[in-house]
Amino acid sequence: MKIVEILSPKGIIANLRGKGKPEVISELVDVLPLGDLDKTKVVQVLLDRERLGSTGIGDGVAIPHGKLPGLGSIMAAFGRSLKGVEFDSLDGNPAHLFFVLLAPEDSAGLHLKALARISRLFKDGRFRRGLMAAKDEEEIYRLFLEEDEKYG
């Protein structure tokens, strides 16, 4: 699975303003193409998942994710916080790079495949540094495109 199959340029925020977990998640949900889905319910699904265990995986990365009934396909949003946000990350450090992933309720295989791809991508320190240095949403999207090309 390629990231750009689920992430569009409109789903990227180069400078998140949120200072806490709920604000960041809400800000990212704002750029998802939700259609008729209720934003409040979407945010709640992601926050409920956070209560099970933080999706802050360390190295400045968090991957809030959840499954939703009524969602037609997997969708994603990406945001960057230059200041960093306390996200209860595994390494205790603030998160700077956020990748929200939403999947239909009945798509366990695709959901796990997407999570694995995203996790693998963010393990690359060079890629993380590139995202932090990017000047705007367009450059961030180009970095995802370049990484997808390497993936095949």
> Between 125-133 and 108-122, two packed helices, what is the crossing angle to 10 degrees?
80
Burial of 7 (0-12, 13-18, 19+ CB in 10 A): buried
Catalytic residue, from 21, 65, 80, 117: name it: 65
Return the ∠ at Cα 93 (arms to 89 and 99), rounded to 5°: 55
Active-site annotation holds for 65: yes
Beta strands 95-104 and 61-62: pairing type?
A: parallel
Catalytic residues: 65
